[in-house]
Chain A
Amino acid sequence: MSTLPDAETLCARLVAELRPSVGPNTAMIGLHTGGVWLAERLHAALGLIEPLGTMDIAFYRDDYHTQGLARDPKRTQIPFSVEGRDLLLVDDVLYTGRTVRAAMNELFDYGRPATISLVVLADRGGRELPICAQHCGAKVEVSAEMRLRLRRGGDGKLKLELERAE
């Protein structure tokens, strides 16, 4: 198995890539939990005017009928109007695309953004829905029985890790 890319390097790459496209109408939303960690870093580095939004898509998941309610969902907090906004939706790992589908449904219950762009640290393939990232740190090959996830150390440093999927 190939070694995983360094999350800090990918984060810096995303900042450089996003900088030219960021304007006064840009706002950012991170998806719990890893996406919020990444978004906090990107948001600070890009110096966005609007405060960061955070979102937990637990109430919009498509597997409620088989999995039930996710344990202890976080509160979605969007401290700005999404109406007419250019939104950067941030998650750590893009896989099936189902989380992004749920997030977009939830977003539209807040208003009608002008554009939504997806920003992810890593794309591991395996898409089940027609969704792609506009800004991607790296493509990573991961076998189906493994789970790729972002960790945040005590020093605040981000790190990609593999663990066996349940």
Chain B
Amino acid sequence: MQSNPQLNEHGELRHLLSIEGLPRDVLGSILDTAASFVGVTEREVKKVPILRGKSVFNLFFEPSTRTRTTFEIAAKRLSADVINLNVAASSQTKGESLLDTVANLSAMQADVFIVRHASSGAPYLIAQHVKPHEHVINAGDGRHAHPTQGLLDLYTIRHYKRDFSRLCVAIVGDVLHSRVARSLIHGLTTLATPEVRVIGPQTLIPTGVESLGVRVFHDMREGLRGADVVVMLRLQSERMRGALLPSAQEFFKHYGLTAEKLALARPDAIVMHPGPMNRGVEIDSAVADGPHSVILPQVTFGIAVRMAVMSMVAGT
């Protein structure tokens, strides 16, 4: 059996490629470390010197302003130097291979690569070829994984609900195309969450998803009943063109989160969304801005989680 490519010989986090395969203690350690960084982000000087002198390369082969920005803020708060590369618009279009691009950046003394790529597995390929002192963090690869988003979701749930051992978490919407959903499901099952549900139309639920340990619901009302946490997924407008969905209005009617549907969940339920939101498509404005919503705290926690991951990998 191949050893876990994310861990070094001491079982410490060397790359973050996927939540799948991360041992429970490593997952817990990331969340604990993030809690300390939340303290840093709340003070006057929001910066610690720990990555001083290190270079973090934001390597985005697929555009994503928000994710790139949160990694950039996180790296700067660790005192690292950040270099942003929008590779989609540079060398690759001139025909350079992925590994050649990385080798070139490596020659510029990189320490951490933050990689976003449209192809599943691209960060793994890079991780296999980097030097021992270089580290790779997956910032989203194809439909496969988005581990830091999954981690910040886990952090948010733990912040509000403390303990995973009695929780019912419902994930609603386009699970099929969602790397966020996949990462979160792996994290929740690793932390022994007793009930994880996915809710959506048959066309947007991957076949065989039950094997990940989740229950599938096509009726949203039924699926929300008794949920402690409701995670809404973004309906990607580019999917609307295909035959998967009749229309955005139709989707909202069946799978949009309204106050009336949310009332079926537990009275203290929290509502999460990875952003960017489509108001009136997957979530009603009254819910997005309502008392159950923790969507903006998720963004704040996301910075601390990314600080934790970067400072852990760069120290191994």
Residues of A that sit less than 8 Å from B by CB: 56, 58-61, 64-65, 67-69, 71-77, 105-106, 109-111
Q: Please name the 10 residue pairs, one residue from A and one from B, whose CB atoms are nearest each other, closest first.
A: A68-B315, A59-B48, A109-B45, A75-B39, A69-B315, A72-B32, A73-B36, A75-B36, A59-B50, A69-B311
B137 to chain A, nearest CB (A): 15
**Size of the chain B interface, CB-CB below 8 angstroms:** 21
Since A56-B36, A72-B32, A106-B48 are in contact, a sample of 11 more A-B pairs with Cβ atoms closer than 8 Å, ordered by chain A residue number, is: A58-B36, A64-B50, A64-B315, A67-B315, A69-B315, A75-B38, A76-B39, A109-B43, A109-B44, A109-B47, A110-B44
**Residue in contact with A77 in the complex, picked from B29, B39, B49, B50, CB distance below 8 Å:** B39
Q: What number of residue pairs across chains A and B have CB atoms under 8 A from each other?
A: 53
CB pair A111 B36 closer than 8 Å: no
A32 to chain B, nearest CB (A): 10
Q: 0/1 per residue, B31-42, Cβ < 8 Å to A?
A: 011011111100
CB pair B36 A59 closer than 8 Å: yes
Overall SS of chain A's interface: loop
- Chain B neighbourhood of A75, CB < 8 A: 35-36, 38-39
CB pair A60 B49 closer than 8 Å: yes
- Chain A neighbourhood of B39, CB < 8 A: 75-77
- Chain B neighbourhood of A61, CB < 8 A: 50
Is the C-beta of B312 less than 8 angstroms from some C-beta in chain A? yes
- Chain A neighbourhood of B120, CB < 8 A: none
- Chain A neighbourhood of B40, CB < 8 A: 59, 76
Q: Tell me the bound Cα distance from A56 to B36 in angstroms.
A: 9
Is the C-beta of B190 less than 8 angstroms from some C-beta in chain A? no
**Residue in contact with A76 in the complex, picked from B36, B49, B312, B315, CB distance below 8 Å:** B36
B158 to chain A, nearest CB (A): 14
Closest B-chain residue to A83, C-beta based?
Answer: B44
Q: Tell me the bound Cα distance from A110 to B44 in angstroms.
A: 6
**Residue in contact with B311 in the complex, picked from A59, A65, A74, CB distance below 8 Å:** A59
A35 to chain B, nearest CB (A): 16
CB pair A68 B12 closer than 8 Å: yes
CB pair A110 B45 closer than 8 Å: yes
- Chain A neighbourhood of B48, CB < 8 A: 59-60, 106, 109
Q: Tell me the bound Cα distance from A61 to B48 in angstroms.
A: 10
**A75-B38, A109-B45 given as contacts; is B312 within 8 A of A69 (CB)?**
yes
- Chain B neighbourhood of A60, CB < 8 A: 48-50
